[in-house]
Amino acid sequence: MTEPEAAAETTVDPAATRHEFEDIDDARSRFRDAGYLTDDRLATTVFLLSRLDKPVLLEGPAGVGKTQLATSLAAVTGRRLIRLQCYEGQDETKALYEWDYGKQMLYTQILREKIGQVIEDAATLTEAVDRISQQDSVFFSERFLAARPLLEAITSPEPVVLLIDEVDRADEALEAVLLELLSEFQISIPEIGTVKATTLPYVVLTSNNTRDLSAALKRRCLHLFLDYPEAERELEIIRSKDTGLAEALAVRLVEIVRGLRELDLRKSPSISETIDWARTLAVLGVKELTADVLSQTLNVVVKYERDLDRAMKAIPSMVDPNADVPDSLDHGHGHGHGHGHGPGSDHSHDSGSGHDDEPDGRAIRAAKDQPGRHGGPPPKPVPAGQGERSFASRSARKRPV
């Protein structure tokens, strides 16, 4: 398979001989052993996926572990991972199968003499064409079929995990092609017939919600919204990654990241970014999470200039709710190494320009003027569903109803 989108990946753990999960706890602990920490909903969904022979559709913001779930599922069940990475303009020849034109040509060249014999005594051109077409099935047979990931998953003699990644990027036509596979575990090839799965694959689809998926596709799948994790689970994930960051700092870092997710950012920091930030701070040998240190390394987790600007302003008040508030604001065009002592959280912003926010410094100072300013802030309670809210509001290409 030469096309990058058709690349099949293999992640087989030879020690993992048990293909199914005994129960939800079994699923949870085997994923944990593979370095993927689930919560109850996730463990239940994975268990059901293995028992109901139904694909699972994971939706959620970037970096919350959707793709990793499929990779880990392959690892813990000892199945080969076959991945279809979806993109705009992708057609079924890259997803299902295509006829190997080069091989067909080669065979016709080699068999030229034989073909000549078939039409040798044909009286007319029409008769010659008729005779050739009677041989169609020779050239449109499995021998000349180049399987792409979906057909490969169906025809694999060993059970596999099929990951259909970022299905929302594919066109609706390809989404329609998927329906037969997802409900019947089969693919119809007009020239050959219907190819049924020898062993049922575990199918995982992921979506970042760049457009609405069809109801038909959703109906065929178990659906799970993967949100940013609860603080405790995120901390556990950080611990499990051996980032080298001290426990107390990791606790604070998770709080800070959760605070950033409450801002109206174009791209909220994900789990992978929390991990990156923890590693960065550990490499720098940071002993205390000061506003300066966080601001200087903020570009590890915040990737848009407007977001950086907003986060810079919010950081000091996250570190210390009574942080000094300067009279004039730095609007942060310089990607913020060493600056960013803005007036604190600006949760109220909602414009996209990044230059629309002239906060009332006095009001903010008054709000921050509380006792105990150097005692460290109390943990800021962050409501659940951070990703779900921003995720839902970002759905770009809505399906017409």
Q: Which positions lie near Mg ion, rule CB under 5 A?
A: 67
Measured from the Cβ of residue 82, the count of other Cβ atoms closer than 10 Å reads: 27
**H or E segment at 392?**
helix 386-393
Rank residues 61 and 259 by Cβ distance to Mg ion and give the closer one.
61
The closest of 352, 347, 349, 330 to 339, measured between CA atoms, is: 330
- In the list 237, 301, 312, 329, the residue contacting ligand ATP (rule: CB under 6 A) is 237
User: Per CB under 6 A, does 269 bind ligand ATP?
Assistant: no
Which of ligand ATP, Mg ion, none does 269 bind, CB closer than 5 to 8 A by kind? none
- In the list 6, 27, 56, 64, the residue contacting ligand ATP (rule: CB under 6 A) is 64
Which residues on neighbouring strands pair with residue 161, listed in sequence order?
A: 81, 202
Rank residues 63 and 343 by Cβ distance to ligand ATP and give the closer one.
63
User: Per CB under 6 A, does 104 bind ligand ATP?
Assistant: no
Which of ligand ATP, Mg ion, none does 311 bind, CB closer than 5 to 8 A by kind? none
User: Per CB under 6 A, does 387 bind ligand ATP?
Assistant: no
3 state DSSP class of 363: helix
DSSP designation for 85: E
In the region spanning residues 1 to 40, those forming contacts with ligand ATP, defined by CB under 6 A, are 35-37
Least distance in angstroms from the C-beta of 63 to ligand ATP: 4
Give the range of 64-72, 79-87, 91-99, 156-164 binding ligand ATP by CB under 6 A.
Answer: 64-72
Q: Degrees (nearest 5) of the Cα angle 31, 234, 22?
A: 20
Rank residues 70 and 319 by Cβ distance to ligand ATP and give the closer one.
70
Tell me, residue by residue from 68 to 97, as one string, x for binding to ligand ATP by CB under 6 A and - for no binding.
Answer: x-----------------------------
Q: Per-residue DSSP letters for 283-341?
A: HTT--S--HHHHHHTGGGT--SHHHHHHHHHHHHHHH-TT----SSPP---STTSS---
User: Per CB under 6 A, does 164 bind ligand ATP?
Assistant: no
Rank residues 226 and 302 by Cβ distance to Mg ion and give the closer one.
226
Which phi-psi region, left, alpha or beta, contains residue 198 (left: φ > 0; alpha: ψ -120 to 50)? alpha
- In the list 67, 77, 85, 280, the residue contacting ligand ATP (rule: CB under 6 A) is 67
The closest of 255, 209, 265 to 230, measured between CA atoms, is: 255
User: Per CB under 6 A, does 317 bind ligand ATP?
Assistant: no
Which of ligand ATP, Mg ion, none does 49 bind, CB closer than 5 to 8 A by kind? none
Least distance in angstroms from the C-beta of 95 to Mg ion: 17
Bridging pattern class, strands 97-99 and 145-147? antiparallel
The closest of 161, 149, 102 to 8, measured between CA atoms, is: 149
The closest of 387, 370, 274 to 323, measured between CA atoms, is: 370
CA atoms within 13 A on the CB side of 329: 24
Total chain residues near ligand ATP (CB under 6 A): 16
Chain contacts with ligand ATP (rule: CB under 6 A):
35-37, 62-68, 206, 208, 237, 271-272, 275
